[in-house]
Amino acid sequence: MAYVITEICIRDGSCVEVCPVACIHTTPEAPQFYIDPDVCIECEQCVIVCPVDAVFLDIELPDQHLKAEEDNAAFFRATKDEVEQLSYHTAMEMIHEAEAYARRMGYRVSVVVVDGSGIPIAMSRMDGATPWSTELALNKAYTATLYDINTDTTRLAHHSLTVMSKGKIMAGAGGLAIMGDFGAATIGGIGVAGAATNDNDLSCARAGVTVLDHHH
Ligand code: SF4
Ligand code: SF4
């Protein structure tokens, strides 16, 4: 069971403030707020604060609002599918964007995009990029993703991580974590290596993530 918000909702957001599991969301374009049925713990707090009585338990939905149950669930399906995972298509676009920037600047780089677990989705090595740059780029992407950070911060803040660089923990700028819109989870990362300096690598990585702005 879960609570469901109906179209009566006036979008004042009171319920969001009280929900203990943060499962009530909306987007600027959506007509109302929605409850994630997979997360709702039926605590009833939202029902108590709603000024217009827009919230019902799913099994008690009035007939004219039966559709709301599917609307609430569908909102989260759509949002999770689109935003919470980096698709192969998006990863390739990020690589192309990072490479386009590198080409303009005269760098020859490898670019790797990983998912939220640090596993590669797509990798590339431009003509002329050094052979080792691909593995370096992967390590940067992996590190940024698992540590939720850009790898330059790693270098500054966690010298000890460098020690592990024979594994996959990589210090040095050129990796960026990608946060989902939906909650604060890391959904992936991009790593670039092969340019003259780490900062140049980082600029390429930043160019790559601009692709995500176009998607929103
Ligand atoms: S019933 Fe509780 S957990 Fe469910 S949406 Fe309302 S406030 Fe959140
Ligand atoms: S409190 Fe009620 S009206 Fe306000 S956003 Fe939540 S469901 Fe909508």
- The rounded Å distance from CA 12 to ligand 2 centre is 6
Residue 101 near residue 110, CB atoms below 8 Å: no
Residue nearest to atom 4 of ligand 1 (CA): 40
- Structure tokens that stand for 165 in this block: 């660089």
pLDDT of residue 29: 85
Residue 161 confidence (pLDDT): 40
Ligand 2 neighbours, Cβ below 6 Å, are 5, 9-15, 33, 46, 49-50, 52, 54-55
Domain extents in the chain? 3-83, 88-215
Q: Whose CA is nearest to atom 8 of ligand 2?
A: 9
CA 98 to ligand 2 center in whole angstroms: 42
CA torsion through residues 154, 109, 121, 135, sign: negative
Sign of torsion over alpha carbons 93, 94, 100, 106: negative
Q: For residue 32, how far is its CA from the centre of ligand 1 (angstroms)?
A: 16
Count the helix, strand and coil residues of the chain and give each as a percent rounded to the nearest 5.
45, 15, 40
Nearest Cα residue to 118 out of 170, 78, 160: 170
Which of 67, 124, 61 shows the shortest CA–CA distance to 97?
Answer: 124
Name the pTM for this structure. 0.53
Q: What is the pLDDT of residue 212?
A: 83
Q: Is the CB of 199 under 6 A from ligand 1?
A: no
Which stretches of the chain drop beneath a pLDDT of 70?
79-84, 148-172, 180-185, 214-216
Beta 186-193 vs 110-115: how paired, if at all? antiparallel
pLDDT of 94 reads 95
Instruction: List the one residue out of 144, 147, 141, 143 whose CA is nearest residue 191.
Output: 141
Q: What is the pLDDT of residue 216?
A: 47
Superfamily of domain 88-215 in the CATH hierarchy = Haem-degrading domain (3.30.450.150)
What pLDDT shows up at residue 5?
A: 98
Q: Looking at ligand 2, which residue's alpha carbon is closest to its atom 6?
A: 15
pLDDT for residue 142: 86
Q: Ligand 2: distance of its center to the CA of 182 in Å?
A: 19
Closest-CA residue to 133 (of 176, 177, 174): 174
Ligand 1 and 42: CB distance under 6 A = yes
User: Is the distance from CB of 94 to CB of 208 less than 8 angstroms?
Assistant: yes
CATH of region 3-83? 3.30.70.20
d(Cα 159, Cα 167) in Å, to the nearest integer? 15
- pLDDT tens per residue across span 145-170: 877 655 555 443 443 344 344 445 55
44, 58, 72, best to mutate for ligand 1 pocket (most atoms within 8 Å of CB): 44
Contacts by residues 61-67 (CB-CB < 8 Å, ≥ 24 positions apart): 61/4, 61/6, 65/4, 65/6, 65/7, 65/8
Pocket test for ligand 2, best of 3, 6, 9 (most atoms within 8 A of CB): 9
pLDDT at 79: 65
